[in-house]
């Protein structure tokens, strides 16, 4: 299992996030990736490489230019508001809601930050753009390795990406790494790519990016949006629109779901991927489905992730793994690498 590693991920290290009405220490921390890297090296699962040179123009294939321009320059604008801001993270305070305009770009930085975000739990700091951009390069490079003949590759990066849409950030995500990888596979000539999101939280950003496209099939197993973040997307009746109708497959599951029921849903998602004749697979690999995760509600155990990897390998597709969530930090490495090990062993 070849791993493309983001050695700049720790440039993004938030101080606090808004969680249920109070500012709390961030759940999404650099130690998450550090534990995965340690587990990879401990098991000798495969080499770690740096990403290839990356053209930012590739980001504009999945994100809008005005959003990318905002994210790239947000920190400088935040500090320009008040030099004291250099010591604190930027968090949004305002959001446009129904009946308000989003087509006009405000001059006010706080107003633009609200325009391009959907929660107050995603702090932005001096290194956020560099870390997110380098993470996109990891995802793109992993896709290139698979295009070049590797059976699989793993983009080990943070911040995660699957909540980031074409023109918004949130859920700890700024650039949608899975979408970057999927688009790279499409650009290389794969007729249809499947993105399978196994994170506890629905990949609302990935769904939104591809919702009206038939060349990328999105499938997600996640906590029911009636009770779980991101709440406003991820229902089973969301099947795609326009050309993309029938190419979006949500499988929401109730809190407390154990591995047997979760695995059955995974098989349903894989059956759907086989039905649309996908030629390659991108897996948004979140391991916050773990029973000990502090902000999730499924009951998977560490050994279950080996079985998950085996099931993914049996799909028989060239596969790019992109690291997403998982906040039981001490166990994140074991669980993520169990998926990769199970996949590698089953794939031969």
Residue that has been written with the tokens 């700091």 in this structure: 125
**Residue 88 vs residues 78, 84, 141, 256, 305: alpha-carbon distances, Å:** 10, 8, 33, 37, 37
Neighbours of 330 (CB within 10 A): 9
H-run or E-run covering 271: helix 259-275
d(C-alpha 223, C-alpha 143), whole Å: 28
Quote the tokens at residue 37: 């890297």
d(C-alpha 128, C-alpha 37), whole Å: 20
Active site residue 163: yes
Helix (H, G, I), strand (E, B) or coil at 119: coil
Q: How many helices (H) and strands (E) does the chain have?
A: 9, 10
Q: Tell me the sheet residues that pair with 99.
A: none
Catalytic site residue from 35, 162, 163, 249 = 163
User: Active-site residues: which are they?
Assistant: 163
């Amino acid at each position: 299992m070849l791993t493309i590693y983001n050695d700049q991920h720790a440039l993004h290290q938030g101080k606090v996030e808004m969680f249920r009405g109070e500012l709390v220490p961030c759940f999404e921390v650099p130690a998450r990736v550090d534990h995965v890297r340690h587990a990879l090296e401990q098991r000798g699962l495969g080499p770690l490489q740096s990403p290839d040179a990356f053209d930012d123009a590739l980001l504009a294939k999945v994100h809008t230019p005005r959003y990318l321009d905002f994210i790239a320059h947000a920190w400088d604008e935040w500090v320009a508001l008040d030099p004291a801001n250099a010591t604190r993270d930027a968090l949004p305070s305002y959001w446009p809601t129904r009946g308000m305009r989003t087509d006009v770009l405000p001059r006010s930085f706080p107003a633009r930050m609200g325009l391009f975000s959907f929660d107050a739990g995603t702090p932005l700091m001096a290194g956020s753009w560099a870390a997110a951009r380098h993470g996109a390069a990891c995802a793109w490079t992993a896709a290139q390795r698979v295009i070049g003949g590797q059976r699989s590759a793993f983009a080990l990066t943070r911040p995660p990406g699957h909540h980031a849409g074409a023109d918004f950030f949130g859920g700890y995500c700024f650039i949608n790494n899975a979408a970057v990888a999927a688009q790279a596979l499409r650009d290389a000539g794969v007729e249809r790519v499947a993105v399978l999101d196994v994170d506890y939280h629905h990949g609302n950003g990935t769904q939104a990016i591809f919702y009206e496209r038939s060349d990328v099939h999105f499938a997600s197993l996640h906590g029911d949006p009636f009770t779980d973040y991101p709440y406003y997307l991820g229902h089973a009746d969301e099947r795609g629109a326009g050309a993309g109708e029938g190419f979006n497959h949500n499988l929401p599951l109730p809190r407390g779901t154990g591995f047997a029921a979760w695995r059955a849903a995974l098989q349903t998602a894989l059956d759907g991927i086989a039905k649309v004749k996908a030629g390659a697979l991108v897996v948004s690999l979140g391991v916050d489905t773990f029973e000990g995760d502090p902000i999730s509600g499924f009951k998977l155990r560490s050994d279950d992730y080996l079985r998950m990897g085996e099931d993914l390998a049996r799909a028989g597709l060239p596969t790019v793994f992109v690291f997403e969530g998982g906040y039981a930090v001490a166990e994140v490495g074991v669980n993520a690498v169990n998926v990769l090990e199970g996949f590698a062993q089953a794939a031969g």
